[in-house]
Amino acid sequence: MNQDRTTGTLRKRPVQKRSAERFERLLDACAELLDEVGYAALTTKEVARRADVPIGTLYQFFSDREGLIGALAARNLESFLARVSGRLEREEPEGIAGIVEVTVDEFVTMRRTIAGFGVVDFGAVGQDHVLEATQDNNTAVAGRLGSLTSSLTGGQDDPEFAIAVRVALECADSVLKLAFATDPQGDARLIAECKRVLNSYLDDRLGERP
C-alpha cells in the first residue's frame, strides 16, 4: 500500500548574490540531471558536481535530496503561476474557456521546454507533500491557482469554487500525464480533450455564477 511521505526541508534561503547564484545553479543542475538519469538515480553528489558547487554548500541549503527536489518543485510552481498571471493580464481572456486555455497552454509549454519539468513539475512520485507539509501537492497547487483566478470568475471566499478548482486540477493532471505518455511533446488530441473536459465541468459548476 502506498503511503504519503513528506520531503526533506529547505534549510535556508540565500541572501547574498553569490549564494543566490549557487542556489539557482544547484536547481538548474538538478533539473538537467532529472532529464538525463531520472528521479531514482539522482544524487546530491552529482548535482553539486554538475553545478560546480561544494557538496557542503548544497547541504547548507538543503537537508537532503528531497529538500532539493522540493525547492525545484516550488520554483516550477512560482514560474508557472507567473506565466499564467502575465498572460491573463496581457490578454484579458473572457470567461472560463479563456482561463482554461491559458492555464493548460502554459503548463504544456513548460513541460515541453523546461528541464526536469517532466519528472518533477510541482512534486515527485512518492513525495506527496513537496510544496506544503500539511497539504498534498495538488491541493497546494489548486489553492494557488484558485487565488490567482478567483477574481476573474467570482469565486472569492467561496468553498464551492475551491472544490471545483481542485477537481478540475485532478482531471487535468491525469489527462495531461496521458498526453505526454502517449507523445513526448504531448498528444495534441488529448490536450484538446483536456481543455474540453475542463471547460464543460467548470462551466457547469461555475458558469451560472453572478
- Residue 181 makes CB contacts below 8 A (sequence gap 6+) with none
Residue 188 has pLDDT above 70, yes or no: yes
If one looks up domain 17-206 in CATH, what number appears? 1.10.357.10
Across 23-100, the runs of DSSP E, i.e. the strands, are none
User: 159: which 3 cell numbers?
Assistant: 468553498
The residue extents of the domains of the chain are: 17-206
Q: Tens digits of per-residue pLDDT, 102-150?
A: 999 999 999 999 999 999 999 876 677 777 777 888 888 998 998 888 7
Q: Tens digits of per-residue pLDDT, 63-72?
A: 999 999 999 9
CA distance 164 to 204: 10
148, burial (CB in 10 Å: exposed 0-12, middle 13-18, buried 19+)? middle
| Residue 185, φ and ψ in degrees, nearest 5 | -95, 0
CA distance 192 to 176: 10
Q: Are 202 and 168 in contact (CB under 8 A)?
A: yes
